[in-house]
Amino acid sequence: MGQAGLMEGRREVRALDLGLLNEFGSIVGKRGLICSPEELHTYECDGLTNFRVLPGAVLLPSSTEQVQSVVRLCHREKIPFVARGSGTGLSGGALPVANGIVLSLARMNRIHEVDLPNARVVVEPGVINLDVTGRVASQDYFYAPDPSSQSVCSIGGNVAENAGGAHCLKYGFTTTHVLGLEVVLPDGSLVHLGGKTLDTPGYDLAGVFVGSEGTLGVATKIILRIVKRPACVRTLLAAFPTTNEAGAAVSGIIAAGMLPAAIEMMDKLAIQAAEAAVHANYPDCGGLLLVELDGPLAEVEALMTQVDEICRSNGAWEIRVAQSEAERALVWKGRKAAFAAVGRISPNYIVQDGVIPRTALPQVMGEIARLSRESGLRVANVFHAGDGNLHPLVLYDRRIQGQEDAALALSFKILELCIAAGGSITGEHGVGEEKKCMMSKMFAEPDLATMQRVRCAFDPLQLSNPTKVFPAPRLCGEKPGEYVAHPVESAGLAERF
Amino acid sequence: MTAISPTLPNHFRAVLSANQIRPASAADAVCGMQPQLLLEPSTEQQLASALRLADESQLAVLPRGGGSKLGWGNAPSRADLLLSTARLCRILEHAWADLTVTVEAGCTIETLQQTLAEHGQRLALDPLWPEKATVGGMLSTNDSGALRLRFGALRDLILGVTIALPDGTLASSGGKVVKNVAGYDLPKLVTGALGTLGVITRAVFRLHPLPRHSRSFTISVSNPEEAQNIILAIQDSQLAHVALQSQFTSDASPLIDILFEGTEAGLDAQASQFRALCKSAKSTQLQSEPRHGANPKQRAWNARQDLWSFSNPAENAIAKISVLPADLARAAELIGPIAESSRVNWKFLLHATGLGWLRVEGPADNLHRALTILRAELEKIGGSLAVLHRPANMQTFDAWGFSGDSLPLMRAVKSHLDPSGTLNPGRFVGGI
């Protein structure tokens, strides 16, 4: 496993000397400083395990003041830093800079305030996503953005990536639910962006910060919006001959003026994988649709009848409606297991995260099938049909020479298809390290230059996660690696989605 | 006012044709500042080039769409050129099956909605003066109404944007799909930025289906406390209302308006639930039964725009207020006494989101006093007050109020995108 040479063209970061390590240690305390090589290996990558870089030190502050002091010291000494939440990111956003600092927010995991009448919760960045819902569930509230890693991923990480989840179409993303942030800027100063009330005077810098992948500073407090649970949820499963008919059904649902809470689609290969892994008992079909509606009971029941009709008129030959929470969980089980499940039918895989306009699905699927045939590699497809987020899973065996490179190349060709179809290179995983090379294909030079200008306003010295998001002069997929399950996956705590 | 060289109009002939350049008239004045020239580019490229020329010539540029909200913000410190988007008004693509639309900044909201309605869709926003307001102006002022409760604000409905920077750059960010985390979210940066960072030339929005049916109810309550109890109870219930607001005035009982959309069966069920909630939430004093109108475009949902229908602009001021949703009663109970002691009449509309609009009426000095005190009180409880209309002769009063500790950062962003301060100088927070 090679080390990715990430400083390409940038200044080399000299190794941290003992004096500096002591200074950092005096800020965060002995237990907040990790600098032994064995321990540093834990932080050398995130969920994207084929890129690994050893940092100079890992710091675990436990307060905003400590974060400020650490960042001030980094600013003084021109040391780049990378903030890290739970390390479950899939684009290498938390990949360290060689000899730089990793700033782990894991210790800052307090929920400061729960204000139900105003539907606001104030949390530290290390709070786990699902724990926010856990805190307000007894009053029938929930925190809407639900990435599949939500039992382990942190709010701070969600903020960095503008994390989504299966219910984005109706409920929005992290940025929809972040009202304000306390942020330590890369010079160590503290600012408050947004606030508890709406439309605070000035530019929407909170909106710029969310999704900036740690390149604009470190969030130390986040004001979240929570949502009242809908009165009822109904989930329907429909089996189609192919994904084309399933896609047509989705278009029919949209054309009928309905806005489901979630619409998921799986192709034959993905269904087979799910069956092998968790015995989801899905119908054996070419295209599977999972449609979820939520809201007031009478409304949902009226709409569900229409969804049923639309599916049948588009060729669905089997339809099941989950009648209980247990049945609903079963319906989702297969879908949520799909990523991990492909591990049953292939030694290795690469997952991508492109987005396409919904209407482009048949054409893009056709192209993926062609690329698959040409390369001899199978591709399983899981599609958030509601919002157009496509997760192609490129299956390969790294023991066969050349297959890994071919798989990587194919995964990036699929992203090019997404761009050509008018979509995006990333719907939820972020650009991070992995997809920097694709930014120039999605955006023109003036677009990237303008984003860089905004970045310079926040971080003139380019210390905050400096090597991510924006393109560097390097080829895509230069340092491929085998797919290695992230420790949290192996522990059964999370699934790739 | 910069004295414009008489050769300047010819200067712009390099990028625009003669009929796209004309001297500004008195009717083109903005907050008492008289620009000299009006430019009407008809393509994004022309707009960007004209803007660059203006920037190079050190002219102050005021972008203009429909001109319906030019008085919002502070008066410009300089005003040389009006850059109009009137000719950038095309709907470039309505991808109805994908629920997105790409539209140029000068298109009016009404024209846009009419086109979207052809496929049973809408931009789920209810901005002011849709027949006159343009996409660019609506975005730049962050103007949206009661539907925000269900469908989100402009920041939540915009997917992508193209802006012209003063150095002539045309920059796009975001995209055409609902889910996209590539790059920075610059659409959010320019939303509400009053055109001070760049001139919006086009935007991509996510759309929603037009509702099949709607039903609206109005109830009257005795006082702000009761209004708050009912509104919070509704918000805490599992009703799926799309809009909810309360109206207060010095001389009548407070009103609560609620809007539902959906299937007939769904609406019937929600109506029953709503009636039951009102019954159990009210005090023992019986109030009037909910009135419902088959046409939701009734008085209630025009209430915000109606605030502007005053006859004497010299004796009226309008402010946008933001408080926490559960500070509804507190806000209403602050306004009454302050208005009374300042001897002004008042009318206040507050959405369940915590955003509200206040009209005060009286002599300019009294208005100034009322707004000054009210802003201070609101800021104490974490809220804000921004002035949208004021008498021309009212004493100096900053339009925005306290902008917090991120002002230096805002200035830094401004200086990176508009280093010469060409766009709407002095109009934004902190004098940006």
pLDDT level of residue A7 (50, 70, 90 thresholds): very low
CATH class of the domain at B213-297: alpha beta
CA distance A123 to A125: 6
Q: Which of B128, B75, B66 is nearest to B307 (CA)?
A: B128
- The residue with tokens 């609506």 is B138
pLDDT at A187 over 60: yes
Q: Determine the distance in angstroms separating the CA of A399 from the nearest CA of chain B, rounded to an integer.
A: 33
Model confidence at A488: pLDDT above 50: yes
| CATH label, B8-86+418-431, candidates 3.30.160.60, 3.40.50.720, 3.30.43.10, 3.90.1150.220 | 3.30.43.10
CATH assignment of A1-229, among 3.40.50.1970, 3.40.190.10, 3.30.465.10, 3.40.1380.10: 3.30.465.10
Instruction: Give the start-end residues of each E strand in B47-198.
Output: 61-64, 81-84, 91-95, 100-104, 121-122, 158-164, 170-174
**Measured distance CA(B217)–CA(B296) in Å, rounded:** 9
Q: How confident is the model at residue A387 (pLDDT cuts 50, 70, 90)?
A: confident
**Whole-Å CA distances, A450 to A193, A247, A437, A469, B417:** 21, 37, 18, 14, 8
Query: Comparing A328-342, B197-211, B401-415, which segment has the lowest mean pLDDT?
Result: A328-342
Identify the band that residue A474 occupies on the pLDDT scale cut at 50, 70 and 90.
Answer: very low
Q: Express each pLDDT in A348-359 by its tens digit.
A: 999 899 999 988
Q: In what order do the strands lie in the sheet with B252-262?
A: B291-293, B213-220, B252-262, B243-249, B345-351, B355-361, B316-322, B384-389
The pLDDT tens digits for B293-330 are: 545 556 799 999 999 999 999 999 999 999 999 999 99
CATH 3.30.70.600 in chain B is located at 307-401
Q: Is the entire prediction scored with pTM above 0.90?
A: yes
The whole-number pLDDT of residue A484 equals 52
CATH of A232-337, one of 3.30.70.2190, 3.50.50.60, 2.60.120.10, 3.30.420.40: 3.30.70.2190
Q: What is the dihedral of CA A265, A271, A277, A283, to 10 degrees?
A: 110
Q: Phi then psi for A276, rounded to 5 degrees?
A: -65, -35
φ, ψ at B34 (rounded to 5°): -105, 110
With an 8 Å Cβ cutoff, is A188 touching chain B? no
Q: Can you tell me the distance from the alpha carbon of A424 to that of B63, in angstroms, rounded to the nearest whole number?
A: 31
Cβ burial, residue A313 (10 Å; 0-12/13-18/19+): exposed
What class does CATH assign to B307-401? Answer: alpha beta
What ipTM is given for this predicted complex? Answer: 0.96
Number of other residues whose CB lies within 10 A of the CB of residue B431: 13
End-to-end CA distance of chain B: 18
**Chain region(s) in chain B for CATH 3.30.43.10:** 8-86+418-431
Q: What is the three-class DSSP state of B429?
A: helix
Among B209, B403, B416, beta carbon nearest to A258: B209
Where do the CATH 3.30.70.2880 domains begin and end in chain B?
213-297
B229 vs A: CB within 8 A: no
Q: A-contacting residues of B 169-208, CB under 8 Å?
A: 169-173, 175-186, 188-189, 191-193, 197, 208
Per DSSP, what are the bridge partners of residue A193? A181
Residues in chain A closer than 8 A to B354 (CB atoms): 118, 197-198
The dotted CATH code for B91-209 is 3.30.465.10
Does A114 touch chain B if contact means CB atoms closer than 8 Å?
A: no
Higher pLDDT, A489 or B138: B138
Note the pLDDT tens digit of each residue in A401-438: 999 999 999 999 999 999 999 999 999 999 999 999 99
Cα–Cα distance measured from residue A324 to residue A262, given in angstroms and rounded to the nearest whole number: 17
> A70-103: per-residue pLDDT in tens?
999 999 999 999 999 999 999 999 999 999 999 9
Nearest to B193 among A175, A203, A431 (CB): A203
Closest CA in chain B for residue A451: B184
pLDDT band at A125 (very low <50, low <70, confident <90, very high): very high
Query: Is the per-residue pLDDT at A476 higher than 50?
Result: no
User: Mean of the pLDDT values across residues B409-421?
Assistant: 97
Would you call B324 and A303 a contact, using CB atoms and an 8 Å cutoff? Answer: no
Higher per-residue pLDDT: A11 or B131: B131
Start-to-end CA distance of chain A, whole Å, equals: 25
- Average pLDDT of the residues of chain A: 90
Mean pLDDT of chain B: 93
Query: Where does CATH 3.30.465.10 sit in chain B?
Result: 91-209
Q: Are B316 and B358 in contact (CB under 8 A)?
A: no
Distance from CA of A465 to the nearest CA of B (A): 14
Q: Where are the alpha helices (DSSP H) in B209-284?
A: 224-236, 264-281
Q: Which of B151, B181, B350, B428 to mutate to test the interface with A (most CBs of A within 10 A)?
A: B181
Which amino acid, A42? T
Q: A275 touching B, CB under 8 A? A: no
Q: Quick one: CA torsion of A129, A134, A137, A143, rounded to 10 degrees?
A: -10
What are the helix (H) ranges across A223-324? 243-255, 268-278, 297-313
Residue A42 has pLDDT above 50, yes or no: yes
